[in-house]
Amino acid sequence: MLTLPIYLDNNATTPLDPRVLEAMMPYMTNMFGNAASRNHAFGWQAEEAVDYAREQIASLINCSPKEIIFTSGATESDNLALKGVFEMYASKGNHIITLTTEHKAVLDPCKHIEKMGGKVTYLQVDEKGLIDLKELEEAITDKTILISVMYANNEIGVIQPIREISAIAKKRGILFFTDATQAVGKIPVDVEADGIDLMAFSAHKMYGPKGVGALYVRRKNPRVKVTAQMDGGGHERGMRSGTLNVPGIVGLGKAAEIAKQDMEADTKRIAAMRDRLERELTTIEESYVNGSTEHRLPHVSNISFKYVEGEGLMMGVKDLAVSSGSACTSASLEPSYVLKALGLSDDLAHSSLRFGLSRFTTDEEIDYAIDHVKEAVAKLRELSPLWEMFKEGIDLNSIEWAEH
């Protein structure tokens, strides 16, 4: 049975896996202890649960449980990594290198760091959304303390060459931080093999609960430290104070365990559905896949349907929960900066839809999505003056548009 609406916005958030909820439930009710209470069974129970979650997570990303710092989510982890490294390593330098296509949770802390006297280089990406390693090497100065490059992009799913980047960082004695929010739990992420020094991720992008995430902070080769951004009881090895969110952490741990166990089977099934969706939708005339299809997460597809505006299209597929690179609702009216960074013209950026599948997506849902997107695009093109001009062979660039 098909239940509407269909959720295909899993890069925004994923549903909570029932197995995760089940693991969390006792810690929401009778096992309510504070993990920092060292003097009674309630505290011990909570601490034990947290330690177990640390192990589950460490096993997923191949690190030591001691290297996991729990936070409220990836945004906090990003802030802690960037600002924490900037403060901790101030005597070594003040320069950070990142990408223009990073999430705002990285870009905005970088802007903050610039205000604090730091220097940030924002590297451009190529038309596939990938970093240019030569440009990265050239951007490094003797003041560079950190390279911050996301593992996989949230809008187009493009995976950066993490090992090549970390090799460059290591060679030059610079720390490497990656925002892996979209990657952890979806594709194999191994902090040792990948050469990662700090890594941010979040539970709610991998079928866990909202409000909990982690920052991986390397303890050996090199030993990395970050300055705490919140003062308090000195929890999490002094790097992140605040009473631990025990049920959330248990959820993150369980989500990590399931991800490790099911990843291969999940990926195979999800990628097959994503590929079918993409294959069918690109049979639509003048449709284009955005970003690299070679280096990409298995569950994401970002497609532009030329001459149709994304927000109007989303309204036409109202039974599908997707998102668009069109920012028609935002005050700026600017389309997605990520798509623009790929060199997409504004009109193509306005015409994009992002589909994000999950382990709960079904073939039936994909069938429905294919039909409805095709219908909506056809309907809106009937309404589109640009489509009519295109069909008449008029070059839209030859028209003097009144910018408004």
Partner 1 sequence: MAYSDKVIDHYTNPRNVGTLDKAKKSVGTGLVGAPECGDVMRLQIEVDENQVITDAKFKTFGCGSAIASSSLATEWLKGKTVDEALAIDNMAIVEELALPPVKIHCSVLAEDAIKTAINDYRVKNGLPELEMPKSHH
Part of the chain binding partner 1 (CB under 8 A), chosen from 55-63, 126-134, 228-236, 394-402: 394-402
> Dihedral (C-alpha) 200, 205, 206, 207: value to the nearest 10 degrees?
140
Q: Are strands 320-321 and 300-305 parallel, antiparallel or unpaired?
A: unpaired
Which residue ranges are tagged as binding site?
74-75, 154, 182, 202-204, 243, 328
C-beta of 294 vs 392, nearer to partner 1: 392
d(CA 90, CA 69): 22
Query: Which of 309, 338, 341, 357 is in the footprint of partner 1 by CB under 8 A?
Result: 309
- Beta-carbon-side half-sphere exposure of residue 92 (alpha carbons within 13 Å): 15
Report angle CA 158, 159, 160 to the nearest 5 degrees: 115
What is the smallest separation between the CB atom of 332 and partner 1, expressed in angstroms? 10
280 near partner 1, rule: CB under 8 A: no
Does the active-site annotation cover 63?
A: no
Query: Which of 188, 345, 374, 378 is in the footprint of partner 1 by CB under 8 A?
Result: 345
> Dihedral (C-alpha) 61, 62, 64, 70: value to the nearest 10 degrees?
0
Part of the chain binding partner 1 (CB under 8 A), chosen from 171-179, 232-240, 288-296, 311-319: 311-319
404 near partner 1, rule: CB under 8 A: yes
Query: Which of 33, 129, 247, 335 is in the footprint of partner 1 by CB under 8 A?
Result: 335
Part of the chain binding partner 1 (CB under 8 A), chosen from 116-124, 268-276, 352-360, 377-385: 377-385
C-beta of 347 vs 367, nearer to partner 1: 347
For residue 391 the two structure tokens come to 């069909």
Give DSSP secondary structure letters for 52-92.
HHHHHHHHHHTS-GGGEEEESSHHHHHHHHHHHHHHHTTTT
What is the smallest separation between the CB atom of 329 and partner 1, expressed in angstroms? 6
What is the smallest separation between the CB atom of 315 and partner 1, expressed in angstroms? 4
Q: Is 241 exposed, middle or buried (0-12, 13-18, 19+ CB in 10 A)?
A: middle
Please give the residue ranges that form the binding site for partner 1 (CB under 8 A): 307-312, 315-316, 326, 328-331, 333, 335, 345-347, 350, 382-388, 396, 399, 401-404
- Kindly list the catalytic residues: 328
